[in-house]
Amino acid sequence: MATFVMVHGAYQGGWIWKPVATRLRAKGHVAYAPTLDGCAEMRHQVRPGITVETHAREIADFLFYEDLREVVLAGTSSGGMVILKAAELARDRIARLSFVDALALLPGERVDALVNRATPREVSDLTTAYSRADAENRMFKDLDPSMRAWALDRITPHPVAALEGPMVPTTFWDQKWSASVIRCTQAVNPPEAHQRRTAEKLGASYHELDTGHYPMLSAPDDLTNLLLA
C-alpha cells in the first residue's frame, strides 16, 4: 500500500484529482488531494501574499500534521512548482515524485517565459483567470461532454503571484530524487522540451500519454497505472 498526495494546478482544486484518487483507493492505496489556499472551495480566502512558497509550505505542513511518510507526491501543471518546493521542505517524508504534464521551474524562472498562451487572461491584483468559454473550447475540449460540464462548473481564478511570480529559491535541484515525468502529447503546454529537461535533470523516468493537459479527467485509468508504476 502506498500513500499518494496529489497537488492541482492553476484554476483548479483538489477536485480535479477525484477520478484518480477514487481508483487509487479502490486498489487499496491511501490518496489525498488537498486544495491550495485561495483556490476552488478556498477561493474566498484569496488575498495578497499567496505564492508558490506559501502553497509549498501548506503541502509540507499537510504531510507533517497528517503524519505521512514514504509519500508519492504528484503535481500537475503549475502544481509541479509547488511539489518541488514542498519536497525540499519535507525531504524526509518523500519516497517519489511525479510531474504530470507539469511545470518544474528553476529558481528565478517565470511561467510566461516557458509557455505559449494562445488567449488573453483576466488578471487582477489578486487573481488570474481564463473565461469559461475559453476553458470550454480550449482547456477542456478533449473531455467528454459530461466530464467537461463537471469541470467547467468547478474552475476558479488562481492567486496571481502563485502563477506569475518568479520561481522561489530552492535547493531542490541540488538533491537526488526518485521521480517520473508524464507528458501529455496533445497538450501545447508545458512544452515537450521543458518536460524533457525536468526528466534529464532529475534522472527521472519519462512517459507519454496520448491525451490533453488534464489526464486525470481524460485518461484516469492510464494515469493511475503510471502513478503506480
Q: Residue 120: pLDDT above 80? A: no
Mean pLDDT of 206-220: 97
Contacts by residues 14-18 (CB-CB < 8 Å, ≥ 24 positions apart): 14/40, 15/40, 15/154, 16/76, 16/151, 16/154, 16/214, 16/216, 16/217, 17/216
Q: What is the DSSP letter of 45?
A: G
**Quick one: pLDDT at residue 138?**
83
Are the CB atoms for 152 and 143 separated by under 8 Å? no
Q: Residue 69: pLDDT above 90? A: yes
The whole-angstrom separation of Cα 179 and Cα 158 is 27
Q: Residue 119: pLDDT above 70? A: no
Domains of the chain (ranges; CATH) run 3-228 (3.40.50.1820)
Q: What's the pTM value of the predicted model, to 2 decimals?
A: 0.96
The whole-angstrom separation of Cα 207 and Cα 210 is 10
In order of 13, 22, 55, 87, 136, the CA distances from 62 in angstroms are 15, 20, 11, 12, 32
Sign of CA dihedral 38, 142, 100, 64: positive
The whole-angstrom separation of Cα 189 and Cα 25 is 29
Are the CB atoms for 39 and 54 separated by under 8 Å? no
Mean pLDDT of 123-143: 88
Which cell is 119 given? 488567449
- Write down the mean pLDDT value for the chain: 95
**Quick one: pLDDT at residue 123?**
86
User: Does an H or E element contain 155, and which?
Assistant: none
**Quick one: pLDDT at residue 172?**
98
**Mind listing the pLDDT tens digit for each residue in 74-110?**
999 999 999 999 999 999 999 999 999 999 999 999 9
